[in-house]
Structure 1
Amino acid sequence: MTDPRAPELTPWAAAGIAAGLFAVDPAGCGGLVLRAHAGPVRERWLEQLRQLLPSTSPMRRLPLHIADGRLLGGLDLAATLKAGKPIAERGLLAECDGGVAVAAMAERLTVATAGRIAAVMDSHEVLLERDGLGLRVPTRFGVVALDEGVTDDEVVPVVLTDRLAFQVDIVPVGIRDVEEPFWTVDDIVAARNLLPQVEAGDSVLEALCGAAMALGIASLRIPFLALRVARAAAALDGRTQVSDDDATLAGRLVLAPRATRLPPMEPPEDQQEEAPPPEQQPPDEPPPEGEDQQTQQDLDKPLEDRVLEAAKAALPAGLLAQLQLGAMRSRSGSAGKAGALQQGKSRGRPIGTRRGEIRAGARLNVIETLRAAAPWQPLRRAQALASGAVKGPRVHVRRDDFRITRFKQRTETTTIFAVDASGSAALHRLAEAKGAVELLLADCYVRRDRVGLIAFRGQGAELLLPPTRSLVRAKRSLAGLPGGGGTPLAAAIDAVRELAEAVKRRGETPVAVFLTDGRANIDREGKPGRPKAMEDAVAAARVLAQENFTTILVDTSPRPQRSAQELSQAMNARYLPLPYADAATLSSAVQAASS
């Protein structure tokens, strides 16, 4: 079996150590994010965690679309109707007191649900004030967030991961790599009993905070979570004092997965302090040699440096390469893939209920309607009897009780390309602009976005391709685009605005991308004249800015033009001066700017 203190740990060994430390102090460590696909490997890890938890520690699963009433508690509708008075229902978070809550498909949790779980973890109690109830239920638990995300834009909400000590990835682990647990449930129980007596010196906390700062970890919670892990490691070893090895282990498991930069490099040897000459060393302490000398040097290093070295050694190869290249990017959704969020009455993901009337296609939420009506049943029955009614309905529901389900859905994105095909653009960058648009069109096709193409040259703008998902039609329209003539920028901006408004009316999200040098010389009436043409272009840009569309202006001239900068400011667009870029660079720059 792998040594938990070994310099190098396999992914399964790291996951096993994290499970043991988490089982010692679930509420203190917060929990862990387990990145794994559904299958036997993940189930084996969860089963080992169950074996490590004492029998008194419950383990509950939180469904993905769990309702607030089941999560936090609320009105027990059946019991309320039977008893004739409000009866509270105990939520899952309260049932997890002293144990673990397993969040299924946590990468799809809404920020609202993750925020409610985080709030309960912070306050150690469920505060229930709804449906005529007012309760405070104490609860302390840890969370295992199962991350089944396939792509980098599927992540567990930060509001939850910021409170979980461990981030474990067992995706590359095969069933043959699974090993037995390092500890038994008796070891965990003994460590739990010893944990309140474990102390850590100020040097340990200072080292963890310094290492977190050197690794670019901004959250103040993370060093304290690392300290909790170090205390749990000491308790598992049967000690009441946190050692340096415990701190380095916490750095490897807690700090390393969250690193956003590499620690500063050590100064060159010629800038370091020179070692004292051999004759100044005590004669009775000869310098150690070989491996003993290296061990002694490691022990002489400050604790913060050892924690940093341990964290750096635990960095995955891919993450280390990204940090060295300075290419760290947040795992957030790319533009166009999901479009803008909008609320609706009949389609999308349910996001709660509101009071309303059944009209215009709204959907009545029967359960929530009955919940709202339940507390008033005794009063309404008494009123019905007082009015002389002999026999009334078993449940009195009124218009104020109606609850309408709200939905949230992401709209499709339509990217509108406005390509300058005038004489100046054809002379400079039309071929490269066509290549960039083709690459962007292919990217939109992969994301299943719609694309539209507008070309402007001569005396006006022409819609070459209405919004479509056909990549073949888009490329064919672009390939047949000739170059030459004037630059009617005002007409192009007006055409883009009209098309974007039509896209928005269909419920989609428009994104406008202009590829031009910004040197307008044809006004709105189709007459030549640079001053009047620029004046019309700026006026059209200001009208476009009022629509609040996402707009990008790529300056394709050999040198950045002041006219293009002023135009981008007028239309509130992102300005990309790319005087020496090829088609691939143009494509990647536009994708980055629209994200």
Structure 2
Amino acid sequence: MTALGAAAPDAHRDALIAARLCTIDPRLGGIVLKGGEILREAVLADLREGLGPERRIPVNVDDDRLLGGIDLTATLAAGRPVRRDGLLAEAAGGFVVLPMAERLSEAVAGRIAAAIDTGDARFVTIAFDDGVEADARPPAALMERLAFHIDLTEARPGAALSPVTVADHAEDTPGAIDALVTTAAALGIASARAPRFAMLAARAAARADGRTQVTDADLALAARLVLAPRATQWPAEPEGAEAPPPPPEPGDGQDETASDTPPLDDLVLAAVLAALPPDLLAQVAAGKSRQRARANGAGERRLGHARGRPLGARAGMPGGGKRLSLIDTLRAAAPWQRLRGRGGRVLIRRDDLRIRRFEARAEALTIFAVDASGSSALARLAEAKGAVELLLAEAYVKRAEVALIAFRGTGAEPLLPPTRSLTRARRSLADLPGGGGTPLAAGLNAARELAESARARGRTPFIVVLTDGRANIAADGGTVRAIAESDAASAARAIGVAGIAAAFVDISARPRPEGAMLAAAMRARYLALPRADATAMHAAISAVQAA
């Protein structure tokens, strides 16, 4: 066992180990640290000791400050092009810190990723992930290039690492690369960078221990730190696997000194599986991806030219809603003024023009499709009313709208069109009718049509279905239960095919398989809430939207 891996696995200690490995070999890229605001400082202190002072990159950094370029003020004053280095160039040989990395735009993350790939200015990147919602994570292009992903949310402070004498290099043990690649494939890791990072980490761990040979313990440590956070599936049992043969009896002619050490692949895989927390094992075993989650209830991020969070300017012609960025245009034209013979004037060409870009969230629309049939309609509608009012209270903050569709008798009726007005909603919800049959297919079709209409107008729809899943009225108004169930299944599949995010809330007193089957057809989250009140329903729906 290496000196680094001598203690039991601990998130804060793992972060300190990762920082030391990055100091030894900056090719590891860096670390994504989630949570643990207080514990991060110890990690940064180790990096400062090994790499020097850091450069902090704000979320709203522009291209010139990030990558360097013409210093407009100095250029105009000197009459000649004056360049200045960007933050990435200033960080060469050191490290950069990305506060609130989950808010980085894809454009900024792509430029940092490109700088990491080229390696012209080698630096280590520390990304702070402070996202609360499941979809609020640093951009995938950045996370792909950072070897270590460590969650400090529930970590306790760990002991500082002891000083070490770093070896100049370390040689791989036979079969090491094959073992890491095999383990990555077994865990469903498609990226080729992951086993490469694990191999680099194993070599750095050996060097940190003053050794020139990578051991099995180094590989196990590297796999635990690099591969375990990237796992997307539970390793499958090999087909046709047979029980191991019994140990040979003494004196049967076999070599009694033969080693019973398991294969290196098994040792590395066992180290990874031991590092997975119990609550993660169920997700991995069910085949749930750890990739960036889709924003189910939040509006999608979209680029624009009018309003939103400002992004870097790009070359282009103003007009058609595109606004000129004067400062960026002058900055682009400044280097060419001497060649253009300015004669006291700043000459601007077409290629110098820069336009502004913004990123804004699309408006979200939550559509409630409520079963208003049968004797329990009053209870269902009361729950729906309360949940709608609670969601509307958040509408102004989240730029969200709410709509309500009730289905009963032989059809579905839109009782509340998309709105943010709580007063209007209360007025429309005051006298909701109840009773009759369950035209589930009509309700699902009406919700899908409203969602597709909203999506065509640039909104992000989310459907919430409240029903017991027992359809008895067909789409054409017929009363044959078999046809009604078939129509409901077809309507549910149509929502799934359309890619509309949804939640299926089963409000029957005793949930039955029909609800879960319809939820699966819709590709929706299934929630069994037989005795839920408005607050519980609102909390459950909000959790699904954030998942």
Same fold by TM (over 0.5)?
Answer: yes
TM bracket (short chain): 0.7 to 0.9
Look up the equivalent residue of 1:314 and give its one-letter code: A
What is the CA–CA distance in structure 1 between the aligned matches of 2:62 and 2:268, rounded to whole Å?
A: 42
After superposing the two structures, state which structure 1 stretch, 439-448 or 208-217, moved more.
439-448
What is the CA–CA distance in structure 1 between the aligned matches of 2:545 and 2:63, rounded to whole Å?
A: 38
Look up the equivalent residue of 2:436 and give its one-letter code: G
Q: Residue in 1 aligned with 2:194?
A: 222
After superposing the two structures, state which structure 1 stretch, 398-407 or 97-106, moved more.
398-407
What is the CA–CA distance in structure 1 between the aligned matches of 2:273 and 2:159, rounded to whole Å?
A: 25
Q: Residue in 2 aligned with 1:70?
A: 65
What is the CA–CA distance in structure 1 between the aligned matches of 2:22 and 2:118, rounded to whole Å?
A: 20
Residue 203 (structure 1) shift: 0.5
Structure 1 residues 583, 272: closer, same or farther in 2, change over 3 A? farther
Structure 1 residues 443, 242: closer, same or farther in 2, change over 3 A? farther
CA deviations 1:184-217 (Å, max 9, x no partner) are: 5xx3xx43xx12xx22144011111112222222
Q: How does 1:231-270 map to 2 (within 5 A)?
A: 231-264=203-236
Structure 1 residues 462, 237: closer, same or farther in 2, change over 3 A? closer
Look up the equivalent residue of 1:105 and give its one-letter code: M
Q: Residue in 1 aligned with 2:475?
A: 520
Partners of 1:350 and 1:406 within 8 A in 2: yes
In the alignment, is residue 406 of structure 1 matched against residue 357 of structure 2?
Answer: yes
Residue 459 (structure 1) shift: 8.1
In the alignment, is residue 52 of structure 1 matched against residue 13 of structure 2?
Answer: no
In structure 1, runs of 5+ residues without a counterpart are 125-137, 288-295, 386-391, 523-527
Out of 94, 104, 111, which is 2:106 matched to? Answer: 111
Partners of 2:31 and 2:149 within 8 A in 1: yes
What is the CA–CA distance in structure 2 between the aligned matches of 1:249 and 1:474, rounded to whole Å?
A: 59
Secondary structure of the corresponding residue to residue 260 of structure 1: coil
Partners of 1:60 and 1:100 within 8 A in 2: yes
Secondary structure of the corresponding residue to residue 144 of structure 1: strand
Structure 1 residues 307, 550: closer, same or farther in 2, change over 3 A? closer
Structure 1 residues 302, 284: closer, same or farther in 2, change over 3 A? closer
What is the CA–CA distance in structure 2 between the aligned matches of 1:42 and 1:484, rounded to whole Å?
A: 60
Q: Residue in 1 aligned with 2:139?
A: 157
Q: Residue in 1 aligned with 2:128?
A: 146
CA deviations 1:202-260 (Å, max 9, x no partner) are: 40111111122222222111111111111112222232221222111211221222222
In the alignment, is residue 481 of structure 1 matched against residue 433 of structure 2?
Answer: yes
CA deviations 1:275-314 (Å, max 9, x no partner) are: 21233267986x9xxxxxxxx75xx111111111222222
CA deviations 1:527-546 (Å, max 9, x no partner) are: x999xxx9xx99xx9xx99x
Structure 1 residues 576, 114: closer, same or farther in 2, change over 3 A? closer
Partners of 2:502 and 2:525 within 8 A in 1: no
Structure 1 residues 170, 559: closer, same or farther in 2, change over 3 A? closer
Secondary structure of the corresponding residue to residue 52 of structure 1: helix
Q: Give the superposed CA RMSD.
A: 4.9
Partners of 1:454 and 1:492 within 8 A in 2: no
The TM-score normalised by the length of structure 2 is 0.76
Residue 368 (structure 1) shift: 0.7
What is the CA–CA distance in structure 1 between the aligned matches of 2:443 and 2:236, rounded to whole Å?
A: 53
What is the CA–CA distance in structure 2 between the aligned matches of 1:118 and 1:267, rounded to whole Å?
A: 40
Structure 1 residues 435, 234: closer, same or farther in 2, change over 3 A? farther
Residue 446 (structure 1) shift: 8.6
Structure 1 residues 483, 270: closer, same or farther in 2, change over 3 A? same
In the alignment, is residue 280 of structure 1 matched against residue 268 of structure 2?
Answer: no
Q: Residue in 2 aligned with 1:293?
A: none
Residue 549 (structure 1) shift: 9.0
What is the CA–CA distance in structure 1 between the aligned matches of 2:529 and 2:287, rounded to whole Å?
A: 21
Q: How does 1:316-465 map to 2 (within 5 A)?
A: 316-324=277-285, 330-336=291-297, 338-354=298-314, 355-357=316-318, 364-378=324-338, 381-382=341-342, 395-396=346-347, 403-419=354-370, 421=372, 426=374, 441=388, 444=391, 448=395, 449-456=400-407, 462-465=413-416
CA deviations 1:351-375 (Å, max 9, x no partner) are: 2325444896x65533212113323
In the alignment, is residue 315 of structure 1 matched against residue 285 of structure 2?
Answer: no
CA deviations 1:55-108 (Å, max 9, x no partner) are: 6xx632222221112222222222332343444332222223333222222122
Q: Residue in 2 aligned with 1:25?
A: 25
Residue 589 (structure 1) shift: 11
Secondary structure of the corresponding residue to residue 49 of structure 1: helix
Residue 581 (structure 1) shift: 9.8
Structure 1 residues 219, 439: closer, same or farther in 2, change over 3 A? farther
Partners of 1:72 and 1:91 within 8 A in 2: yes
Secondary structure of the corresponding residue to residue 154 of structure 1: coil
Partners of 1:204 and 1:247 within 8 A in 2: yes
Residue 435 (structure 1) shift: 8.6
Q: Residue in 2 aligned with 1:304?
A: 265
Q: Residue in 2 aligned with 1:11?
A: 11
Look up the equivalent residue of 2:139 and give its one-letter code: P
Partners of 1:554 and 1:575 within 8 A in 2: no
Secondary structure of the corresponding residue to residue 155 of structure 1: coil
What is the CA–CA distance in structure 2 between the aligned matches of 1:549 and 1:173, rounded to whole Å?
A: 38
Look up the equivalent residue of 2:325 and give its one-letter code: N
Secondary structure of the corresponding residue to residue 280 of structure 2: helix
CA deviations 1:449-504 (Å, max 9, x no partner) are: 42211335568764423424749957993884312379698899679857975897
What is the CA–CA distance in structure 2 between the aligned matches of 1:50 and 1:13, rounded to whole Å?
A: 17
Out of 147, 162, 165, which is 1:182 matched to? Answer: 162
Partners of 1:33 and 1:161 within 8 A in 2: yes
The TM-score normalised by the length of structure 1 is 0.70
Look up the equivalent residue of 1:378 and give its one-letter code: R
Higher radius of gyration, 1 or 2: 1
Q: Residue in 2 aligned with 1:135?
A: none
Q: Residue in 2 aligned with 1:130?
A: none
Look up the equivalent residue of 2:59 and give its one-letter code: L
Structure 1 residues 592, 577: closer, same or farther in 2, change over 3 A? closer
Secondary structure of the corresponding residue to residue 280 of structure 1: coil
What is the CA–CA distance in structure 1 between the aligned matches of 2:176 and 2:386, rounded to whole Å?
A: 52
In the alignment, is residue 271 of structure 1 matched against residue 243 of structure 2?
Answer: yes
Structure 1 residues 333, 78: closer, same or farther in 2, change over 3 A? same
Look up the equivalent residue of 2:177 and give its one-letter code: L
Secondary structure of the corresponding residue to residue 251 of structure 2: helix
What is the CA–CA distance in structure 2 between the aligned matches of 1:339 and 1:16, rounded to whole Å?
A: 37
Look up the equivalent residue of 1:245 and give its one-letter code: A
In structure 2, runs of 5+ residues without a counterpart are none
Secondary structure of the corresponding residue to residue 188 of structure 2: coil
Partners of 2:381 and 2:432 within 8 A in 1: no
Partners of 2:23 and 2:50 within 8 A in 1: yes
Secondary structure of the corresponding residue to residue 212 of structure 1: helix
Task: Give the percent of matched residue pairs that are identical in Structure 1 and Structure 2.
Answer: 39
Look up the equivalent residue of 1:482 and give its one-letter code: G
Structure 1 residues 324, 489: closer, same or farther in 2, change over 3 A? closer
Structure 1 residues 432, 165: closer, same or farther in 2, change over 3 A? farther
Structure 1 residues 49, 475: closer, same or farther in 2, change over 3 A? farther
Residue 325 (structure 1) shift: 5.6
Structure 1 residues 7, 321: closer, same or farther in 2, change over 3 A? farther
What is the CA–CA distance in structure 1 between the aligned matches of 2:523 and 2:234, rounded to whole Å?
A: 31
